Structure 1
Amino acid sequence: MPFRYYTATTLDGFLADDHDSLDWLLTQPLEEGGPMNYNDFYAGIGAAVMGYTTYQWLLDNELADGKPWPYEIPSFVFTHRTITPVADSISVIDGNPADHRDRLTEAAGGKDVWVVGGGDLAAQFAEAGMLDDMIVSIAPVTLGSGRPLFPRRYDLELQEFARNGAFLCARYSFVGARKPLAKI
Protein backbone atom coordinates (compact mmCIF):
# COMPACT_ATOMS: atom_id res chain seq x y z
CA MET A 1 0.00 0.00 0.00
CA PRO A 2 1.70 3.16 -1.19
CA PHE A 3 1.99 6.51 0.51
CA ARG A 4 1.34 9.07 -2.24
CA TYR A 5 1.85 12.83 -2.42
CA TYR A 6 -0.79 14.13 -4.83
CA THR A 7 -0.73 17.89 -5.29
CA ALA A 8 -0.50 20.83 -7.66
CA THR A 9 2.28 23.36 -7.99
CA THR A 10 3.20 26.48 -9.90
CA LEU A 11 5.90 26.27 -12.55
CA ASP A 12 8.37 27.77 -10.06
CA GLY A 13 7.57 25.16 -7.41
CA PHE A 14 5.09 26.68 -4.96
CA LEU A 15 1.93 25.12 -3.53
CA ALA A 16 0.46 28.41 -2.34
CA ASP A 17 1.47 32.05 -2.30
CA ASP A 18 2.86 33.87 0.76
CA HIS A 19 -0.72 34.31 2.08
CA ASP A 20 -1.67 30.63 1.55
CA SER A 21 -3.88 31.54 -1.40
CA LEU A 22 -4.60 28.99 -4.12
CA ASP A 23 -6.22 31.46 -6.51
CA TRP A 24 -3.55 30.56 -9.09
CA LEU A 25 -4.78 26.94 -9.01
CA LEU A 26 -8.51 27.55 -9.03
CA THR A 27 -8.42 29.68 -12.19
CA GLN A 28 -6.72 27.13 -14.49
CA PRO A 29 -8.67 25.05 -17.03
CA LEU A 30 -8.77 21.36 -16.13
CA GLU A 31 -10.56 18.34 -17.62
CA GLU A 32 -12.39 16.73 -14.69
CA GLY A 33 -12.04 13.23 -16.17
CA GLY A 34 -8.70 13.90 -17.85
CA PRO A 35 -5.35 12.26 -17.21
CA MET A 36 -4.21 11.92 -13.58
CA ASN A 37 -7.49 13.42 -12.36
CA TYR A 38 -8.53 13.76 -8.75
CA ASN A 39 -11.55 11.44 -8.86
CA ASP A 40 -9.57 8.48 -10.23
CA PHE A 41 -6.78 9.14 -7.72
CA TYR A 42 -9.15 9.52 -4.75
CA ALA A 43 -10.95 6.24 -5.57
CA GLY A 44 -7.81 4.39 -4.46
CA ILE A 45 -7.30 6.35 -1.22
CA GLY A 46 -8.15 4.91 2.20
CA ALA A 47 -6.71 7.60 4.50
CA ALA A 48 -5.43 11.17 4.23
CA VAL A 49 -2.68 12.97 6.15
CA MET A 50 -2.01 16.69 6.21
CA GLY A 51 -0.23 19.39 8.16
CA TYR A 52 -1.88 22.13 10.17
CA THR A 53 -1.68 24.79 7.43
CA THR A 54 -3.47 22.52 4.94
CA TYR A 55 -6.09 21.64 7.55
CA GLN A 56 -6.65 25.31 8.37
CA TRP A 57 -6.91 26.18 4.66
CA LEU A 58 -9.63 23.55 4.29
CA LEU A 59 -11.50 25.00 7.28
CA ASP A 60 -11.23 28.55 5.95
CA ASN A 61 -12.04 27.78 2.33
CA GLU A 62 -13.80 24.45 1.86
CA LEU A 63 -16.01 24.46 4.97
CA ALA A 64 -17.37 27.96 4.45
CA ASP A 65 -21.15 28.32 4.61
CA GLY A 66 -21.56 25.22 6.79
CA LYS A 67 -20.22 22.66 4.32
CA PRO A 68 -19.13 19.36 5.89
CA TRP A 69 -15.57 18.04 6.09
CA PRO A 70 -14.72 17.05 2.49
CA TYR A 71 -13.26 13.59 3.22
CA GLU A 72 -15.24 10.60 4.48
CA ILE A 73 -12.03 8.60 4.88
CA PRO A 74 -9.94 8.70 8.06
CA SER A 75 -7.97 11.95 8.10
CA PHE A 76 -4.90 12.70 10.20
CA VAL A 77 -3.59 16.18 10.99
CA PHE A 78 0.09 16.29 11.97
CA THR A 79 0.56 19.21 14.34
CA HIS A 80 1.97 20.20 17.70
CA ARG A 81 -0.94 22.61 18.16
CA THR A 82 -4.01 21.83 20.22
CA ILE A 83 -6.94 21.75 17.83
CA THR A 84 -10.48 20.43 18.01
CA PRO A 85 -11.28 18.28 14.95
CA VAL A 86 -14.35 19.36 13.00
CA ALA A 87 -15.34 15.78 12.10
CA ASP A 88 -15.26 12.40 13.81
CA SER A 89 -13.07 11.04 11.00
CA ILE A 90 -10.21 13.41 11.93
CA SER A 91 -7.40 12.46 14.31
CA VAL A 92 -4.74 14.89 15.50
CA ILE A 93 -1.24 13.40 15.81
CA ASP A 94 2.31 14.68 16.10
CA GLY A 95 5.84 13.38 15.83
CA ASN A 96 7.69 11.49 13.14
CA PRO A 97 5.54 9.85 10.44
CA ALA A 98 7.39 6.55 11.01
CA ASP A 99 5.96 6.48 14.55
CA HIS A 100 2.47 6.31 13.00
CA ARG A 101 3.09 4.00 10.02
CA ASP A 102 1.06 1.08 11.37
CA ARG A 103 -1.85 3.29 12.43
CA LEU A 104 -2.01 5.03 9.04
CA THR A 105 -1.72 1.76 7.12
CA GLU A 106 -4.45 0.16 9.21
CA ALA A 107 -6.74 3.19 8.81
CA ALA A 108 -6.35 3.02 5.01
CA GLY A 109 -7.86 -0.47 5.00
CA GLY A 110 -5.76 -1.87 2.18
CA LYS A 111 -5.93 1.28 0.07
CA ASP A 112 -3.32 4.02 -0.40
CA VAL A 113 -2.49 6.83 2.04
CA TRP A 114 -2.67 10.32 0.54
CA VAL A 115 -0.17 12.84 1.85
CA VAL A 116 -2.30 15.90 1.09
CA GLY A 117 0.27 18.51 2.09
CA GLY A 118 2.10 20.60 2.72
CA GLY A 119 5.49 20.18 1.19
CA ASP A 120 7.34 19.99 4.48
CA LEU A 121 5.10 17.16 5.72
CA ALA A 122 5.59 15.30 2.43
CA ALA A 123 9.35 15.69 2.88
CA GLN A 124 9.10 14.27 6.41
CA PHE A 125 7.32 11.22 4.98
CA ALA A 126 10.09 10.84 2.37
CA GLU A 127 12.79 11.10 5.05
CA ALA A 128 11.00 8.35 7.00
CA GLY A 129 11.02 6.13 3.89
CA MET A 130 7.24 6.45 3.65
CA LEU A 131 6.68 8.25 0.35
CA ASP A 132 6.38 6.06 -2.71
CA ASP A 133 5.51 8.62 -5.32
CA MET A 134 4.65 12.22 -6.05
CA ILE A 135 1.87 13.01 -8.49
CA VAL A 136 1.98 16.67 -9.34
CA SER A 137 -0.04 18.89 -11.65
CA ILE A 138 2.11 21.80 -12.77
CA ALA A 139 0.26 25.02 -13.60
CA PRO A 140 1.58 27.58 -16.12
CA VAL A 141 1.91 30.20 -13.38
CA THR A 142 4.82 31.62 -11.40
CA LEU A 143 4.52 33.21 -7.96
CA GLY A 144 8.12 34.10 -7.12
CA SER A 145 7.69 32.98 -3.51
CA GLY A 146 5.33 31.07 -1.27
CA ARG A 147 4.92 27.57 0.21
CA PRO A 148 7.41 25.25 -1.51
CA LEU A 149 6.34 22.04 -3.22
CA PHE A 150 9.05 19.93 -1.55
CA PRO A 151 11.69 21.71 0.54
CA ARG A 152 14.33 18.94 0.60
CA ARG A 153 17.04 17.69 -1.75
CA TYR A 154 15.79 14.49 -3.42
CA ASP A 155 16.34 12.61 -6.64
CA LEU A 156 13.17 11.44 -8.33
CA GLU A 157 12.47 9.39 -11.43
CA LEU A 158 9.76 10.33 -13.92
CA GLN A 159 7.32 7.43 -14.31
CA GLU A 160 4.60 8.99 -16.47
CA PHE A 161 3.31 12.33 -17.72
CA ALA A 162 0.28 13.77 -19.49
CA ARG A 163 -1.48 17.02 -20.21
CA ASN A 164 -4.75 17.84 -18.48
CA GLY A 165 -6.15 21.20 -19.52
CA ALA A 166 -3.54 23.84 -18.68
CA PHE A 167 -1.59 21.42 -16.45
CA LEU A 168 1.42 19.25 -17.12
CA CYS A 169 0.77 16.23 -14.89
CA ALA A 170 3.64 13.99 -13.84
CA ARG A 171 4.15 11.02 -11.56
CA TYR A 172 7.58 10.55 -10.02
CA SER A 173 9.00 7.78 -7.85
CA PHE A 174 11.50 8.61 -5.13
CA VAL A 175 15.07 7.50 -5.77
CA GLY A 176 16.53 8.89 -2.55
CA ALA A 177 17.91 11.86 -0.68
CA ARG A 178 20.34 13.94 -2.70
CA LYS A 179 23.75 14.40 -1.14
CA PRO A 180 25.30 17.88 -1.26
CA LEU A 181 28.11 18.20 -3.76
CA ALA A 182 31.61 18.35 -2.34
CA LYS A 183 33.17 21.81 -2.52
CA ILE A 184 36.09 22.14 -4.88
Structure 2
Amino acid sequence: MAKTQYYTATSIDGYIADANNSLDWLFEVDEGTANPFGEFFAGVGAFAMGATTYEWVLENDNLLEEPQNWHDMYGEVPCWVFTHRDLPPVPDANVFMISGDVRRVHEAMLVAAQGKNVWLAGGGDLVAQFAQQGLLDEIILGIAPAVLGEGTPLLRHKLHVDELILTGVREVGQFAYLTYAVGDVARMGRHLAAETATLLPVNF
Protein backbone atom coordinates (compact mmCIF):
# COMPACT_ATOMS: atom_id res chain seq x y z
CA MET A 1 0.00 0.00 0.00
CA ALA A 2 1.30 3.45 -0.92
CA LYS A 3 2.50 5.70 1.92
CA THR A 4 2.86 9.41 2.43
CA GLN A 5 6.37 9.81 3.84
CA TYR A 6 8.43 12.57 5.40
CA TYR A 7 12.03 11.71 4.53
CA THR A 8 14.59 14.23 5.72
CA ALA A 9 17.92 14.80 7.44
CA THR A 10 18.01 16.41 10.88
CA SER A 11 20.50 17.46 13.51
CA ILE A 12 20.53 15.62 16.84
CA ASP A 13 18.56 18.47 18.40
CA GLY A 14 15.86 18.37 15.75
CA TYR A 15 16.67 21.05 13.18
CA ILE A 16 16.60 20.51 9.40
CA ALA A 17 18.41 23.77 8.62
CA ASP A 18 20.48 26.19 10.68
CA ALA A 19 19.52 29.72 11.74
CA ASN A 20 20.61 31.04 8.32
CA ASN A 21 18.47 28.44 6.53
CA SER A 22 21.69 26.74 5.41
CA LEU A 23 22.51 23.05 5.00
CA ASP A 24 26.27 23.53 4.84
CA TRP A 25 26.60 21.71 8.19
CA LEU A 26 24.88 18.67 6.68
CA PHE A 27 27.31 18.31 3.78
CA GLU A 28 30.19 18.03 6.24
CA VAL A 29 28.85 14.67 7.46
CA ASP A 30 30.23 11.47 5.95
CA GLU A 31 27.35 9.43 4.50
CA GLY A 32 29.55 6.48 3.56
CA THR A 33 29.27 4.59 0.30
CA ALA A 34 25.57 3.75 0.56
CA ASN A 35 22.90 5.86 -1.13
CA PRO A 36 19.70 5.52 0.91
CA PHE A 37 18.03 8.40 -0.92
CA GLY A 38 18.31 6.69 -4.31
CA GLU A 39 16.76 3.56 -2.86
CA PHE A 40 14.01 5.62 -1.24
CA PHE A 41 13.23 7.78 -4.26
CA ALA A 42 12.84 4.74 -6.49
CA GLY A 43 9.57 4.10 -4.63
CA VAL A 44 8.28 7.69 -4.98
CA GLY A 45 5.62 8.60 -7.53
CA ALA A 46 4.96 12.23 -6.50
CA PHE A 47 6.45 14.71 -4.04
CA ALA A 48 5.86 18.10 -2.46
CA MET A 49 7.94 20.84 -0.88
CA GLY A 50 7.49 24.31 0.54
CA ALA A 51 8.65 27.55 -1.04
CA THR A 52 11.75 27.89 1.15
CA THR A 53 12.89 24.35 0.35
CA TYR A 54 12.30 24.93 -3.36
CA GLU A 55 14.29 28.19 -3.32
CA TRP A 56 17.17 26.45 -1.57
CA VAL A 57 17.21 23.67 -4.17
CA LEU A 58 17.09 26.25 -6.99
CA GLU A 59 20.12 28.08 -5.62
CA ASN A 60 22.13 25.13 -4.33
CA ASP A 61 21.85 23.14 -7.55
CA ASN A 62 21.93 26.16 -9.89
CA LEU A 63 18.74 24.89 -11.51
CA LEU A 64 17.76 27.96 -13.50
CA GLU A 65 21.03 27.83 -15.42
CA GLU A 66 21.46 24.05 -15.28
CA PRO A 67 17.93 22.58 -15.26
CA GLN A 68 19.34 19.19 -16.18
CA ASN A 69 20.40 18.89 -12.54
CA TRP A 70 16.71 18.70 -11.55
CA HIS A 71 16.03 16.04 -14.16
CA ASP A 72 19.07 14.06 -13.04
CA MET A 73 17.78 14.06 -9.45
CA TYR A 74 14.05 13.69 -9.90
CA GLY A 75 13.44 12.64 -13.51
CA GLU A 76 9.81 13.13 -14.54
CA VAL A 77 8.36 12.53 -11.06
CA PRO A 78 5.80 15.34 -10.52
CA CYS A 79 6.46 17.87 -7.78
CA TRP A 80 4.02 20.25 -6.06
CA VAL A 81 5.52 23.42 -4.57
CA PHE A 82 3.35 25.12 -1.94
CA THR A 83 3.85 28.86 -2.18
CA HIS A 84 2.09 32.21 -1.89
CA ARG A 85 4.82 33.93 -3.91
CA ASP A 86 5.80 33.95 -7.56
CA LEU A 87 8.73 31.56 -7.93
CA PRO A 88 10.69 30.84 -11.10
CA PRO A 89 9.96 27.39 -12.55
CA VAL A 90 12.72 24.97 -13.47
CA PRO A 91 12.68 24.78 -17.28
CA ASP A 92 10.82 21.71 -18.59
CA ALA A 93 10.43 20.26 -15.09
CA ASN A 94 7.21 18.57 -13.99
CA VAL A 95 6.58 21.14 -11.23
CA PHE A 96 3.26 22.64 -10.14
CA MET A 97 3.05 25.86 -8.08
CA ILE A 98 0.13 25.53 -5.68
CA SER A 99 -1.43 27.01 -2.57
CA GLY A 100 -4.43 26.11 -0.44
CA ASP A 101 -5.69 23.01 1.33
CA VAL A 102 -3.16 20.18 1.48
CA ARG A 103 -5.88 17.51 1.46
CA ARG A 104 -7.05 18.47 -2.02
CA VAL A 105 -3.48 18.49 -3.32
CA HIS A 106 -2.73 15.21 -1.57
CA GLU A 107 -5.56 13.54 -3.46
CA ALA A 108 -4.09 14.75 -6.75
CA MET A 109 -0.63 13.54 -5.71
CA LEU A 110 -1.93 10.06 -4.92
CA VAL A 111 -3.52 9.84 -8.36
CA ALA A 112 -0.32 11.05 -10.05
CA ALA A 113 1.82 8.63 -8.00
CA GLN A 114 0.01 5.65 -9.58
CA GLY A 115 0.39 3.37 -6.60
CA LYS A 116 3.86 4.58 -5.56
CA ASN A 117 4.64 6.55 -2.42
CA VAL A 118 4.19 10.29 -1.87
CA TRP A 119 7.23 12.10 -0.48
CA LEU A 120 6.99 15.26 1.62
CA ALA A 121 10.40 16.81 1.09
CA GLY A 122 9.85 19.61 3.60
CA GLY A 123 9.94 21.89 5.31
CA GLY A 124 8.56 21.25 8.74
CA ASP A 125 5.69 23.75 8.47
CA LEU A 126 4.35 22.11 5.31
CA VAL A 127 4.66 18.59 6.69
CA ALA A 128 2.84 19.74 9.82
CA GLN A 129 -0.19 20.62 7.68
CA PHE A 130 -0.28 17.08 6.29
CA ALA A 131 0.14 15.62 9.80
CA GLN A 132 -2.70 17.78 11.16
CA GLN A 133 -4.99 16.39 8.45
CA GLY A 134 -3.98 12.81 9.29
CA LEU A 135 -2.26 12.39 5.91
CA LEU A 136 1.24 11.44 7.14
CA ASP A 137 1.98 7.69 7.30
CA GLU A 138 5.72 7.49 7.89
CA ILE A 139 8.70 9.55 9.02
CA ILE A 140 12.22 8.59 7.92
CA LEU A 141 14.96 10.57 9.68
CA GLY A 142 18.62 10.65 8.79
CA ILE A 143 20.07 11.94 12.07
CA ALA A 144 23.39 13.71 11.54
CA PRO A 145 26.05 14.08 14.26
CA ALA A 146 25.52 17.81 14.66
CA VAL A 147 23.90 20.02 17.31
CA LEU A 148 22.78 23.36 15.86
CA GLY A 149 21.15 25.02 18.87
CA GLU A 150 18.65 26.86 16.68
CA GLY A 151 17.24 26.80 13.18
CA THR A 152 14.29 25.34 11.27
CA PRO A 153 12.46 22.72 13.38
CA LEU A 154 11.97 19.21 12.08
CA LEU A 155 8.17 19.35 12.45
CA ARG A 156 5.89 22.01 13.90
CA HIS A 157 3.23 19.56 15.03
CA LYS A 158 2.92 17.52 18.22
CA LEU A 159 2.84 13.74 17.80
CA HIS A 160 2.15 11.72 20.94
CA VAL A 161 3.77 8.42 21.88
CA ASP A 162 0.74 6.43 20.74
CA GLU A 163 0.96 8.07 17.31
CA LEU A 164 4.50 6.83 16.58
CA ILE A 165 6.01 3.37 16.42
CA LEU A 166 9.64 2.64 15.57
CA THR A 167 9.81 0.30 12.59
CA GLY A 168 13.42 0.56 11.46
CA VAL A 169 16.95 1.47 12.57
CA ARG A 170 19.88 1.70 10.18
CA GLU A 171 23.45 3.02 10.30
CA VAL A 172 24.72 4.71 7.12
CA GLY A 173 28.13 6.32 7.44
CA GLN A 174 27.84 8.82 10.29
CA PHE A 175 24.05 8.95 9.98
CA ALA A 176 21.55 7.05 12.10
CA TYR A 177 18.37 6.40 10.13
CA LEU A 178 15.19 5.95 12.14
CA THR A 179 11.85 5.03 10.57
CA TYR A 180 8.54 5.59 12.35
CA ALA A 181 5.00 4.66 11.41
CA VAL A 182 2.68 7.58 12.15
CA GLY A 183 -0.91 8.04 13.29
CA ASP A 184 -3.40 5.32 12.38
CA VAL A 185 -0.63 3.20 10.87
CA ALA A 186 1.23 3.26 14.19
CA ARG A 187 -1.91 2.52 16.20
CA MET A 188 -2.69 -0.44 13.95
CA GLY A 189 0.85 -1.75 14.46
CA ARG A 190 0.55 -1.48 18.24
CA HIS A 191 -2.84 -3.20 18.18
CA LEU A 192 -1.50 -6.10 16.12
CA ALA A 193 1.54 -6.40 18.38
CA ALA A 194 -0.71 -6.54 21.45
CA GLU A 195 -2.93 -9.20 19.85
CA THR A 196 0.12 -11.27 18.94
CA ALA A 197 1.44 -11.03 22.50
CA THR A 198 -1.81 -12.37 23.92
CA LEU A 199 -1.59 -15.40 21.63
CA LEU A 200 1.94 -16.37 22.65
CA PRO A 201 2.25 -19.32 25.09
CA VAL A 202 3.23 -18.41 28.63
CA ASN A 203 5.72 -20.64 30.42
CA PHE A 204 5.73 -20.74 34.21
TM-score above 0.5? yes
2:194 is matched with none
Contact 2:67 2:90 in 1 (8 A): no
Q: What's the CA shift for 1:67?
A: 4.5
1:172 to 180, 188, 195: 180
Structure 1 gaps of 5+ residues are 177-184
Deviates more, 1:25-34 or 1:73-82: 25-34
Give the whole-Å Cα distance in 2 for the aligned partners of 1:151 and 1:101: 19
Structure 2 gaps of 5+ residues are 185-204
1:157-183 residue CA offsets vs partner (Å, 9 max, x unmatched): 21111111111110011137xxxxxxx
2:157 is matched with 152
Contact 2:124 2:155 in 1 (8 A): yes
More helix by share: 2
More strand by share: 1
Aligned-CA RMSD value? 1.5
Question: What percentage of aligned pairs have identical amino acids?
Answer: 41
Q: What's the CA shift for 1:31?
A: 2.6
The one-letter amino acid of 2:37's match is Y
- Runs of 4 or more off by more than 3 Å in structure 1? none
Aligned residue for 2:183, secondary structure, equals strand
Q: How do 1:1-184 and structure 2 match up within 5 A?
A: 1-33=2-34, 37-63=36-62, 66-68=66-68, 69=70, 70-72=73-75, 73-87=77-91, 88-155=93-160, 156-175=164-183
Label 1:101 to 1:67 Cα distance change in 2 as closer, same or farther (>3 A): closer
1:30-52 residue CA offsets vs partner (Å, 9 max, x unmatched): 13426xx1111011001110000
Contact 2:137 2:183 in 1 (8 A): no
Give the whole-Å Cα distance in 1 for the aligned partners of 2:100 and 2:109: 13
1:117-161 residue CA offsets vs partner (Å, 9 max, x unmatched): 001111111111111000000011011100000111112221111
The one-letter amino acid of 2:99's match is D
Flag the structure with larger Rg: 2
Deviates more, 1:120-129 or 1:62-71: 62-71
Matched residues, number: 174
